[in-house]
């Protein structure tokens, strides 16, 4: 019985010595750079322009259909977002695509990608 205890203690000390000799234990910890990290995909939404009275800013209305949580009937929900329009090229009624971006003002965090369909 005493020999088994001595044998297990000897094995433990050998494991500790081997672990100490491995290169992973000796190498200093390096700081990971954030430059190599990839960005997440940005939301791209399609909607209709409802206002363009501001300079370089427009309001787009996004319509989506979702089931009601209790009654399961499909309900139409609309959301309005302000978007950045650098060249003031959108007019009311145009169908456009906007992309999520960094906050450009208090409530403007989308930018115009392209005009899908001009109003006639």
Residue found by looking up tokens 């005493």 in the block: 2
Distance, in Å, from the CA atom of 73 to the CA atom of 99, rounded to the nearest integer, reads: 30
Residue 103 banded pLDDT, cuts 50, 70, 90: very high
What average pLDDT does the chain have? 83
Report the C-alpha gap between 101 and 88 in whole angstroms: 18
Across the range 75-104, mean pLDDT stands at 95
Which DSSP letter does residue 32 get? P
CA neighbor of 60 nearest in space, from 91, 35, 23, 29: 91
Residue 66 has pLDDT above 60, yes or no: yes
pLDDT band at 3 (very low <50, low <70, confident <90, very high): low
pLDDT of residue 115: 95
Q: What confidence tens digit (pLDDT) does each residue in 9-34 have?
A: 666 666 555 555 555 555 555 554 45
- CA 57 to each of CA 2, 36, 105: distance values in angstroms, whole numbers, following the listed order: 83, 33, 10
44-117 is a CATH 2.40.50.140 domain: yes
């Amino acid at each position: 019985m005493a020999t088994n205890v001595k044998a297990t203690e000897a094995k433990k000390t050998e494991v500790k010595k081997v672990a100490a000799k491995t290169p992973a234990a000796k190498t200093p910890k390096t700081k990971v750079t954030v430059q190599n990290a990839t960005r997440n995909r940005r939301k791209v939404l399609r909607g209709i322009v409802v206002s363009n009275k501001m300079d370089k800013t427009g309001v787009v209305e996004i319509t989506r259909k979702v089931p009601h949580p209790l009654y399961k009937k499909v309900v139409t929900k609309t959301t309005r977002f302000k978007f950045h329009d650098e060249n003031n090229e959108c007019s009311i009624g145009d169908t456009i695509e906007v992309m999520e971006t960094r906050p450009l003002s208090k409530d403007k965090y989308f930018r115009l990608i392209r005009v899908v369909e001009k109003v006639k």
